[in-house]
Amino acid sequence: MATDSSAPRELDAVVVGAGFAGMYMLYKLRELGFAAVAFERGTGVGGTWYWNRYPGARCDAPSMQYSYQFSEALQQEWRWTEKYASQPEILAYANHVADRFGLREHIQFSTSVESAVFDEESERWRVTTDRGEAVSARFVVLGAGCLSSRNTPKFPGLEDFEGEWFHTSDWPHEGVDFRGKRVGIVGTGSTGIQAIPVIAESAEHLTVFQRTAQYSVPARNTPMDPAYEARIKADYRGFRERNYRKPMALDVELDPPEHRTFEVDAEERRRTYEAGWETGGIALFFAFQDAVTDREANEAVSQYLRDKIAEIVDDPETAKALMPKHIYACKRPCLDTHYFETYNRPNVTLVDCSEGGVESITAKGVRAAGAEHELDVLVFATGFDAMTGSILAIDIRGRGGRSLRDKWAAGPRSYLGLSSEGFPNLFMISGPGSPSVLTNMIPTIEQHVNWIGDCLVHLRETGHRTIEATLEAEDPWLIQVRAAADQTLWDACDNWYQGANIPGKPRVFMPYVDWPGYLAKCEEVVANGYEGFALR
Ligand code: NAP
């Protein structure tokens, strides 16, 4: 679909977003015979991988698994060149999928959905866009992304800055030339940790403004091993089926940990950590059974990681400032390529602003840690209004004109992260209350899309007009999400999982921790005739 005038006015379904969620939802709807369109604010497909073009952007989940499995032909024909795919390669893959399955003509690009209002009489949603058009649809599926509403903190003085500034998730398509420039970067989460080593290679000088030091483990990315690829492809379907029910829907390529941390002596503990560090990726996370559930066990691995920083970073003061104090993996663990080594470069300076953060932006640079740092270019790797930001950016009104923003004023409320009471025929892919960001996202996106697709077919076959979560199901689910988080240490420090990175955002731990349990629950709900949902 290229222009407004060709947009159908009456549809079965509107999909919001054409990232990996929206694309597969669109494919599924059309396969099932539903007339559907996707609205996408970017000029192309790929979602996260369309926007986050910053230097060093790469996925932390192995490419042979961070990819669609719905088409055996697709997964056989596509060839990943590295263990962990780079952003350009993932974006090329998204474009390949869009072309291969003829999705592009059903996507309206450069279009943001502004509102979705449910009309109780017709039982249809009226969806409006920033291009001034409106469509009517029975179903709305939100695939707008868990990490796509960017957070640029309101730094005082930003408007006075005379240099150029960029947010990593709104990176210019033509790239940024850092040569001969004094560059500053704010943010040392997964994004900053990937970008810093690459920017340091070309910038004249790079100043890193760090509010919170982060744990990071070498990713140990490698070119794709053709023998490994052939082995997986010999039984790709079986590989996927086995991984589907594993924690995080991911084969971590490690034996499950045999022991709890303190069941082994200090020497064996050290050997196990060393093996995890050498393996890289998330191996340390799985070194012992209790790394993210027991505080003492967590402190043991945390201290090991701090010691590693001391080993790698030459300047003891810088090393000390880089050592995190919070619980390991409470903030999302980072993977890197030569991150800590970068601080040994003569053209890199760390500014520890853990006390006051970035104080202000001036015409010439950044004021932090009591000094002004002159810069030509400023990069914000400051993250996202996660999980709810892109949903609540849309003015969504359900039964009785009730606004989702009002309903979620104290935090998101959903059943299974799929549906919210009072909002019939409105589905979320990877919504708050689902495992989403704590999983290998593409396979778990596929599970949501398959569930929604089956549900729509069920409605069609049984003659039901609407489906929505009941309050009787939603309230206990909220408690279950909370209780699952309480079994872990994920909620034990400030992080974006609970909205702590956005001033004023309600503090609610949003993702559901137990993927295998969640999968079983979704299956049980269907087996029991959509238990917890009202079908009318
Ligand atoms: P993030 O984890 O939220 O990190 C944002 C960084 O900006 C933090 O260091 C934060 O410090 C800092 N910051 C925010 N506001 C600030 C302020 N006012 N002053 C100073 N510093 C400030 O965001 P992200 O790095 O973009 O990552 C978000 C998520 O995206 C990741 O957790 C991950 O799930 C995903 N991601 C994945 C990959 C991958 O697969 N490799 C790569 C990138 C991102 P504080 O910690 O003190 O708040």
pLDDT confidence bin for 491, thresholds 50/70/90: confident
β-pairing, 395-397 vs 113-119, is parallel
For ligand 1, is residue 58 a contact (CB within 6 Å)? yes
Asked whether 184 lines ligand 1 (CB < 6 A), one says no
Residue 392 near ligand 1, beta carbon < 6 Å:
no
Tokens, residue 355: 């006390």
Decide: 188 in ligand 1 pocket, CB within 6 A.
yes
User: Which structural domains are found in the chain, ordered by start?
Assistant: 9-150+386-535 (3.50.50.60), 158-380 (no CATH)
Q: In sequence order, what are the beta bridge partners of 208?
A: 185, 350
Check pocket membership of 60 for ligand 1, CB cut-off 6 A.
yes
Ligand 1 atom 14 nearest Cα:
382
What pLDDT band is residue 521 in, cutting at 50, 70 and 90?
Answer: very high
Q: What is the pLDDT of residues 376-396, one digit of tens each?
A: 999 999 999 999 999 999 999
DSSP state of 341: G
Find the mean pLDDT for residues 455-468.
98
Task: Supply the pLDDT for residue 253.
Answer: 83
Secondary structure letter of residue 22 according to DSSP: H
Q: What's the pLDDT score for residue 292?
A: 85
**Structure tokens belonging to residue 33:** 């015979």
Residue 86 to residues 52, 61, 93: CA-CA distances in angstroms? 11, 11, 11
Q: Could you tell me the pLDDT band of residue 133, with boundaries at 50, 70 and 90? A: very high
Amino acid letter at 300?
A
Q: Which structure tokens are listed for 115?
A: 């509102």
| Cβ of 211 below 6 Å from ligand 1 | yes
Structure tokens at 381: 């790797």
Percent of the chain's residues with pLDDT above 70:
99
Residues 6+ apart with CB under 8 A from 394: 16, 113, 114, 115, 116, 142, 144
Please give the average per-residue pLDDT across 272-276, as a whole number. 95
278 pLDDT band, cuts 50/70/90, is: very high
Tell the residue nearest (CA) to atom 23 of ligand 1.
Answer: 383
Residue ranges of alpha helices (H) inside 295-385 are 295-312, 316-322
> Ligand 1: does its nearest atom lie under 6 Å from the Cβ of 147?
yes
What is the SS3 string spanning 239-251? Answer: HHHHHHCCHHHCC
Contact between residue 118 and residue 397 where contact means Cβ atoms under 8 Å apart: yes
225 DSSP 8-state letter: P
Q: What is the pLDDT of residue 370?
A: 94
Q: Is the CB of 358 under 6 A from ligand 1?
A: yes
What are the residues whose beta carbons fall under 8 Å from the beta carbon of 112, sequence distance 6 or more? 39, 41, 129, 130
Euclidean distance between CA atoms 52 and 202, whole angstroms: 19
Task: Say if residue 1's pLDDT is above 70.
Answer: no
Cα(312) to ligand 1 centroid in Å equals: 23
Q: Is the CB of 334 under 6 A from ligand 1?
A: no
Q: Are 380 and 166 in contact (CB under 8 A)?
A: yes
- The whole-number pLDDT of residue 85 equals 98
Q: What is the predicted pLDDT for the residue at 473?
A: 98
Judge if the beta carbon of residue 157 lies within 6 A of ligand 1: no
Give CA–CA dist 141/86, Å, rounded.
28
Output the CA 29–ligand 1 centroid distance in Å: 34
How does pLDDT run across 2-41, given as a tens digit for each residue? 444 444 489 999 999 999 999 999 999 999 999 999 999 9
**Any ligand 1 atom below 6 A from CB of 29:** no
Sign of CA dihedral 378, 437, 289, 500: positive
Output the CA torsion sign for 235, 21, 248, 48. Answer: positive
Task: Find the 62 Cα to ligand 1 centroid distance in Å.
Answer: 21
Among 150, 188, 191, name the best residue to mutate to test ligand 1's pocket (greatest count of ligand atoms within 8 A of Cβ).
191
pLDDT digit string (tens) for 230-273?
Answer: 999 999 999 999 999 999 999 988 888 999 999 999 999 999 99
Token pair of 104 as six digits? 């592009």
Please choose from 211, 217, 322, 502 the residue to mutate so as to test ligand 1's pocket, defined by most ligand atoms within 8 A of CB.
211
In 3D space, the residue among 435, 370, 445, 380 whose CA is nearest the CA of residue 186 turns out to be 380
